[in-house]
Amino acid sequence: MSEYKESKDNPLHKEFGLWSNIKYTLGKGWEYGKSAIILAAIGMVAASILQYAWGIFSKYVLDIIEKNTDAETKKNELIMFLIIAGSVMAVLVLSKTVSDSLTWYKYIAIRMRVISERVARVLSLNYEILERPDVLDMHERASAAAEDNQNGFEGIFHILPDLGKSLLTAIVTFVAVTVLDFRLIIGLVVLAIIQFLSYRRVIKKDKEKVWDKMSPVWRKIDYMSRVTQDFEYAKDIRLFGLSRYLISKQKKIYAEREERMDLHCDMWFGQAFLTQILSMIGKGLVYAVLFYAVIEKGLSIGNFTMFIAMSTAFSQSFVFLLLRFGDLKKCSLRVDDLRSFMELDMYEEKETLPLPKADSYVIEFKDVGYKYLKAEKFALRHLNLKINAGERLAVVGLNGAGKTTMIKLLLRLYDPTEGVITLNGVDIKNYKREDYYRLFAPVFQDVETFAFPIVENVSMKPKADTDVDKVTRSLEEAGLAEKMATLKNGIDTYITNIVEDDGIDLSGGEKQKMALARALYKGADIVVLDEPTSALDAIAEQQLYERFDTMIGKKSAVYISHRLASTRFCDNIAMFKNGEMIEYGSFDELIEKNGEYANMFNVQAKYYNDQPSSEGEGALQNELGV
């Protein structure tokens, strides 16, 4: 196990240990790029030999020159040695060059595959989890670990060959330096350990004091970058004079980042200064021992040259071995972050039942309650409600009444804190989420479009898997036929110009119609409209709801609105207030009851009665019967 303990600032963080992380990383490397691992091993051996090979070759060249033989013999021996040595060096240099040239981009390719795994993990996590700050923090750390090519996941691929090279070099040169003077080995080892201990302390402090604290800072910076540069926010920023305020907020966040980076730089400056001092002391020890050997033991010039190379190689490789081992631990900590996110098991589904194929589906809420993480009060409590097959249900109430929470529970974006939701009598938790999601065709208030062609924005599938005729019909029924007729590429036109230069932007109303077309295309058994028409006036919303209700035929439908008249055509109405369903029944029943629903309905009707200012509002008054 790694000696660096579990992060205390996020309970989701796990510690896997150094060797486990090495095994995990090499496993991914072998899975996605075997040739990179093989080439790295070849380059590691070649690089190790090259560290001291020139010193050994120089010794033999000098020994040949110092021999008491004639010039011709020396020349022949030198030529033969240089041919052999040159061939060996050529092979070593070529091996190292090929390894260095071909592995770096293979490492990147492996990392890209791991990033794809991380993205897939994000897309597969339950919606409810993604709203939690601790999960967002873990995702931020996992992103940094996967995307950093030096200090994260990929960094281990760079460090392991360095460690192997240094270890091989240290083993080979240790013997030679011990023969020269074992006390030199002790001195060099002590200096290396001092440098390593300092380096390890800085690594640990750097992660705890800087990088772990930077996760929320990066998140804030990303958000501010999006807000200040995204065209969607441009109108509000200018019309409400937010520029100066946003700049001040951004400066404050940058100041927080700079404070952490200053600490980071100060720590590593001190470490670099200590490293240079210890390096000078080490070189001084090597030359002192060698000078003593020359003077007292008659060390030859050739051996002097070889021992300088060996001592220097040992000193450098041993220090480098310890330091890179510290780097390896640093990368391992980042891999902990990556694996902690990838192996999140909160709310994971265990054994699931196949979703039954039925002619109709009945959904029932049984004493259901939901409380958000760290919230003091329940957002929804004691909800008992049945949605029968083919029923039109209206969910109404003021903002904050619990409507949206109820819908997220219905769609199983959330799981109940208490109580149970059943589908044809079976707890919906027994079904796989993806299967359950297929029952619904939702249209949300905030309509999201993608930088895909219109045809794929409607089908939400690749065009090759799309029924193009059905897309066209869905767009026509949603009221976008005229818009499509004006487009040069028709349904193949891209939304936004991010991918294609001739892409288009849709207005708010067109996006809402796109969302309706999307729901029509999906053709699911249950349709949910979560106030997608909130930007429209009341009469337009009512007309759209009624038109859409005709389109979906006998399917079940749930309509959410704070405008009570828009949903009076529904079979039943559920009135929410302060997180509870306070009234339930048909429109006529609730009006006759003269309770909260009737009171709110009369208040809204009175508004239009008191302020008739258009033909549309007059028409609405007629609809309301006021």
517-536 pLDDT tens trace: 999 999 889 999 887 666 56
97 and 25 inside one domain? yes
Give the angle 150-261-216 at the CA atoms, nearest 5°.
85
319 and 429 inside one domain? no
Domain hosting 374: range is 360-439+557-626
* pLDDT score recorded for residue 552: 82
367 and 233 inside one domain? no
Q: How far apart are CA 82 and CA 89, in angstroms?
A: 10
Q: Of the ranges 231-245, 329-343, 359-373, which one carries the lowest mean pLDDT score? A: 231-245
* pLDDT score recorded for residue 623: 43
380 and 319 inside one domain? no
Question: Does the residue 450 lie in any domain?
Answer: no
Highest mean pLDDT (candidates 91-105, 161-175, 238-252, 561-575)? 91-105
| Mutual angle of helices 71-124 and 34-66, in 10-degree steps | 160
181 and 284 inside one domain? yes
125 and 237 inside one domain? yes
365 versus 13: the higher-pLDDT residue is 365
**What's the pTM value of the predicted model, to 2 decimals?**
0.70
CA distances from 602 to 72, 293, 598 (A): 118, 106, 6
| Mutual angle of helices 182-206 and 301-342, in 10-degree steps | 30
Q: Of the ranges 315-319, 497-501, 551-555, 609-613, which one carries the lowest mean pLDDT score? A: 609-613
Q: Could you give the number of structural domains in the chain?
A: 2
Q: Of the ranges 66-70, 270-274, 463-467, which one carries the lowest mean pLDDT score? A: 66-70
* pLDDT score recorded for residue 499: 72
Tokens of 122: 């994000």
Q: Summarize the confidence of residues 42-52 as an average pLDDT.
A: 88
Q: How far apart are CA 590 and CA 602, in angstroms?
A: 12
Q: Mention every residue, 6+ apart, whose C-beta is less than 8 A from residue 5.
A: 15
Question: Does the residue 529 lie in any domain?
Answer: no
DSSP conformational letter for 149: T
Of the candidates 465, 420, 188, 181, the one whose C-alpha atom is nearest the C-alpha of residue 313 is 188
234 and 364 inside one domain? no
Tokens of 123: 């897309």
Of the candidates 534, 559, 526, the one whose C-alpha atom is nearest the C-alpha of residue 545 is 559
How much of the chain exceeds pLDDT 70, in percent?
92
403 and 308 inside one domain? no
* pLDDT score recorded for residue 157: 92
- Domain limit, last residue, from 279, 312, 342: 342
* pLDDT score recorded for residue 276: 82
206 and 301 inside one domain? yes
Question: Does the residue 169 lie in any domain?
Answer: yes
Q: Summarize the confidence of residues 105-118 as an average pLDDT.
A: 92
Q: Is the pLDDT of residue 3 over 50?
A: no
* pLDDT score recorded for residue 534: 60
Q: What is the pLDDT of residues 21-38, one digit of tens each?
A: 999 999 999 999 999 999
CATH of the domain at 577: 3.40.50.300
Q: Is the pLDDT of residue 611 over 80?
A: no
Highest mean pLDDT (candidates 50-54, 72-76, 362-366)? 362-366
DSSP three-state, residue 497? coil
* pLDDT score recorded for residue 613: 44
Which residues does residue 392 pair with via DSSP β-bridges, in sequence order? 557
Q: What share of the chain is helix, strand, coil (3-state, %, to 5)?
A: 65, 10, 25
Q: What is the pLDDT of residues 482-505, one digit of tens each?
A: 899 999 889 999 998 777 778 888
- Domain limit, last residue, from 313, 342, 371: 342
Q: How far apart are CA 511 and CA 487, in angstroms?
A: 16
* Three-class DSSP labels, 155-190: HHHHHHHHHHHHHHHHHHHHHHHHHHCHHHHHHHHH
Q: Is the pLDDT of residue 612 over 80?
A: no
Q: How far apart are CA 45 and CA 47, in angstroms?
A: 6
* pLDDT score recorded for residue 538: 67
| Arithmetic mean of pLDDT over the chain | 83
Which residues does residue 560 pair with via DSSP β-bridges, in sequence order? 395, 530
DSSP three-state, residue 398? coil
Count of H-run helices and E-run strands, the chain: 21, 10
* pLDDT score recorded for residue 537: 64
115 and 78 inside one domain? yes
Q: What is the pLDDT of residues 199-220, one digit of tens each?
A: 878 878 887 888 777 877 887 8
Q: How far apart are CA 253 and CA 359, in angstroms?
A: 56
In this structure, are residues 25 and 153 in contact, taking their beta carbons and an 8 Å threshold? yes
Question: Does the residue 509 lie in any domain?
Answer: no
How much of the chain exceeds pLDDT 90, in percent?
29
CATH of the domain at 156: 1.20.1560.10
Q: Is the pLDDT of residue 91 over 80?
A: yes
277 and 396 inside one domain? no
Question: Does the residue 466 lie in any domain?
Answer: no
* pLDDT score recorded for residue 365: 96
- Domain limit, last residue, from 309, 342, 375: 342
Question: Does the residue 415 lie in any domain?
Answer: yes
Q: How far apart are CA 177 and CA 379, in angstroms?
A: 73
Question: Does the residue 494 lie in any domain?
Answer: no
Q: Summarize the confidence of residues 92-121 as an average pLDDT.
A: 91
* pLDDT score recorded for residue 622: 44
In this structure, are residues 199 and 323 in contact, taking their beta carbons and an 8 Å threshold? yes
76 and 175 inside one domain? yes
Query: H or E element: which one contains 490?
Result: none
Question: Does the residue 223 lie in any domain?
Answer: yes
